[in-house]
Amino acid sequence: MSDVTLPALGESVTEGTVTRWLKAVGDSIDVDEPLVEISTDKVDTEIPSPVAGIVQEILVQEDETIEVGAVLARVGDQAAAPAAAAPAEPAAEPTPEPAAPVQETAPAPAPTPTPEPAPAPAATPAATPAPAPPAPEQPAATPEPAAQPAAPPAPAPATPAPAAPAVAAPPQSADSAASVATPATPAMTGQDASYVTPIVRKLAQQHGVDLNSVTGTGVGGRIRKEDILQAASAVPTPPAAPVTAAAPAAAPATPAPASTTDQSAEASALRGTTQPMSRLRKVIAERAVASMQQTAQLTSVVEADVTDVGQLRSRVQDAFVQHTGGKLSFLPFFVKAAAEALQAFPIINATVEGESIVYPATENISIAVDTERGLLTPVLRDAATKTLAQISQEIADLAARTRDNSLSPDELSGGTFTVTNTGSRGALFDTPVVFLPQVAILGTGIVQKKPVVVSHEGSDSIAVRQTVYLSLSYDHRVVDGADAARFLGQVKARLEAADFVAVMGI
């Protein structure tokens, strides 16, 4: 047997929590096939099996936390399969004798429409409640017992062959997607096909895809992100029907945003329930409390006029989209201005290690990304040396891969300063929490139009301008109020000058 251990998932990751086993004891597994889902304080990932064989032993239960290098399970070679099946055969021998005639007689009436009742008596010994609804409920009840008796017929070489037509009959009365998942991998259908990750579920809601109509192409028939995207592009109209039908029932307004519908559905599912905290949420809570207890935090706020930045965006937007494939938002300007100010005031870019202050040589800016699993901060490295086009593209890539849970742990570590764009949700400003070992975090509020007093040639007037609040939370043990004010002053001046043409990168 070979031990499957928890591999190193990044330099800063030392432990992980088992969230779900994708295989059970006795299941076969191939090389690099996912065996278990692991959650860390950085990412959630699947651990593949390094060898092929049969799962002999599972040593860590779900929700247990283990260190890197600990043994998760043991996998034996293919020779262990007959050994595991041998004790099952003597116990099953008394029952196959009466069951065998049923399977032999089943092919005889196969041409007529009566072969469907034939599998029902065969499934009755395995599941007692099945005989109660023989005819009307059989299409819905057939897939559930099918996953249990599938294991005994697996060792038999010839018997499962005639059973295949019997399984193919129910799909005529049941949904095709649900029936296809049943014969695909009988041993894994009950485990994997019914499980949908939160990311896949949210993606299905966003695209209006009914999960019951999707055939999973993952291990054991599991529904993957690619299956949802393919279903959304193939048949966008049918999934939208139930969503549209549900919306008028609650409110007569037809053009309800998809995000609002998703939030309403999630809120309805959570009300009145108790949910355990995920590992990521526990880590966020622990770090936030530790930060507030171990540091002396306060926040300084300035208001910047970004009207000229908005005009620059409008002038270069078409060329920017043509060059990069994405739109230019205000966030790259904020990040670029902050990165340049960090070069001028390295105390804001510092980190604390014990009683020492470390001044990094580069400006690695963590970008706060809101995901359904919690707040994550992928790192934009060497931000001060990048153009606006590079910053915009990297932020979009990091945010997309963060929400898809496809980042490596190292991409979520090593930040020296953080930018959080709470204005994207409409907030004027906030007082963000500094996360150790960093000493500062910049919050950017919503960019809004408002009347502002402007001076021109010695006279004042009122004009409509675009403004934004910039709030800097900092650790007063290291950063003084004057340092914070100077930093914010340079960021404000850089944005109001709007001299970014040379660093546009297009």
| Contact in structure between 444 and 334 (CB atoms under 8 Å) | yes
Residue 106 lies in a domain: no
Q: Specify whether 293 is located in the same domain as 406.
A: yes
Q: Specify whether 308 is located in the same domain as 255.
A: no
Listing DSSP states for 402-430 in one string gives HHTT---GGGGS--SEEEE-GGGGT-S--
Contact residues for 488 (Cβ-Cβ < 8 A; gap 6+): 300, 301, 302, 470, 472
Report which secondary-structure segment, H or E, holds 473.
Answer: strand 459-475
Q: In the prediction, which pLDDT does 262 show?
A: 60
Q: Specify whether 242 is located in the same domain as 187.
A: yes
Q: Specify whether 201 is located in the same domain as 305.
A: no
Q: What is the mean pLDDT of residues 373-397?
A: 92
Residue 119 lies in a domain: no
Q: In the prediction, which pLDDT does 490 show?
A: 96
Q: Specify whether 296 is located in the same domain as 381.
A: yes
Amino acid present at 132 = A
Which range is least confidently modeled, 15-29, 116-130, 177-191, 204-218?
177-191
Query: What does the pLDDT look like over 133-142, one tens digit per residue?
Result: 444 444 444 4
Query: What does the pLDDT look like over 37-53, one tens digit per residue?
Result: 888 766 777 888 888 88
Scan for tokens 């999960």, then name that residue: 211
Question: Domain boundary at 267, 299, 325, which?
Answer: 267
Scan for tokens 């040379």, then name that residue: 502
Scan for tokens 């019997």, then name that residue: 166
Q: In the prediction, which pLDDT does 78 show?
A: 56
Q: What is the mean pLDDT of residues 225-249?
A: 57
Q: Specify whether 242 is located in the same domain as 335.
A: no
**DSSP helix/strand/coil, 155:** coil
Contact residues for 417 (Cβ-Cβ < 8 A; gap 6+): 338, 342, 348, 349, 363, 364, 365, 366, 438, 440, 441, 442
Q: Specify whether 474 is located in the same domain as 436.
A: yes
Per the structure, the complete domain to which residue 381 belongs is given by 280-503
Residue 232 lies in a domain: yes
Question: Domain boundary at 65, 85, 105, which?
Answer: 85
For the ranges 103-107, 180-184, 210-214, 422-426, the maximum mean pLDDT occurs at 422-426
Query: What does the pLDDT look like over 67-112, one tens digit per residue?
Result: 888 898 888 875 544 443 334 444 444 444 444 444 444 444 444 4
Q: Specify whether 292 is located in the same domain as 313.
A: yes
Q: How many whole angstroms separate alpha carbon 23 and alpha carbon 332?
A: 44
Q: Specify whether 311 is located in the same domain as 256.
A: no
Q: Specify whether 391 is located in the same domain as 468.
A: yes
Q: Specify whether 306 is located in the same domain as 435.
A: yes
Residue 445 lies in a domain: yes
Q: What is the CATH number of the domain that holds 51?
A: 2.40.50.100
Q: What is the mean pLDDT of residues 439-460?
A: 91
Number of domains, the chain: 3
Q: In the prediction, which pLDDT does 470 show?
A: 97
Percent of the chain having pLDDT more than 70? Answer: 67
Residue 491 lies in a domain: yes
| Contact in structure between 381 and 371 (CB atoms under 8 Å) | no
Q: Which residues are catalytic?
A: 476, 480
Scan for tokens 């992980």, then name that residue: 16
Tell which residue, 95, 37, 50, has the closest CA to residue 77: 50
Scan for tokens 């990297």, then name that residue: 394
Q: What is the mean pLDDT of residues 168-186?
A: 38
Residue 26 lies in a domain: yes
Residue 134 lies in a domain: no
Residue 141 lies in a domain: no
Q: Specify whether 301 is located in the same domain as 204.
A: no
Q: For residue 381, count other CB atoms closer than 10 A to its CB.
A: 15
Question: Domain boundary at 233, 267, 301, which?
Answer: 267
User: In the Cβ-directed half-sphere of 122, how many Cα atoms lie within 13 Å?
Assistant: 25
